[in-house]
Amino acid sequence: MVRRGRHSGPHRRAGRGEGRVRIIGGRWRGRRLHFSAPEGLRPTPDRVRETLFNWLQPWLPGARCLDLFAGSGVLALEALSRGAERVVAVEREARLAAELRERARLLDAEGLQVVCMEAAAFLDGPATPFDILFLDPPYGHGWLPRLMPRLEEGGWLAPLAHLYLEAESPIDPQGLPEGWELIRSGRAGQVAYHLVRREERRS
């Protein structure tokens, strides 16, 4: 879930203060979710999510996932719907976090843990390794190059972890931290999206 800066972009469909998203696969397929839509909040488009979760499907069953900028929580819920065992969703806005907890209750999504906290502050806490991580932070603030080394150094990554990265422009594979490889990428309107994988460590 991205909070955009100056441009709302072609995928922003929210009315006055309210947005809607749809889970597109798995046990909750077709469920429509309503959420508060503060200025600049935009869900990852359906088309992008469908592509992303097709990429991730081999690794989703039983996976432990972290969504650092949860927003509406649609990525977290889509992951659970498609077989993830556990998802931690971090969201700094108290109202959005409360709505996501209520949404999880209505869906009986026992594997979802919602944490109302800034992403950077969350990473200061005790680390748990995750298999799949979603990073689609606000554009224009340099979050990705700051967060990726912290994930690596802080112990947040399981062996062969996968990261979904969303940004306003394509990522240069040469700019990824050592030990990471870009395995998939795409573009939809003003959204550039990527899947990167942690390379296997050899002793």
Does residue 177 sit within a domain? yes
CB 112 within 8 A of CB 90: no
Considering its fold, how many domains does the chain have in total?
1
Query: What pLDDT does residue 178 have?
Result: 82
pLDDT in tens, 129-174: 999 999 988 766 667 778 888 998 999 999 999 999 988 888 888 8
CATH code, 16:
3.40.50.150
pTM, rounded to two decimals? 0.86
Alpha helices in the chain (DSSP H): 46-56, 74-81, 94-107, 119-122, 143-154
Does residue 9 sit within a domain? yes
Q: Whole domain around residue 169: which residue ranges? A: 2-198
Does residue 203 sit within a domain? no
Strand partners, 192: 167, 187
Does residue 175 sit within a domain? yes
Does residue 44 sit within a domain? yes
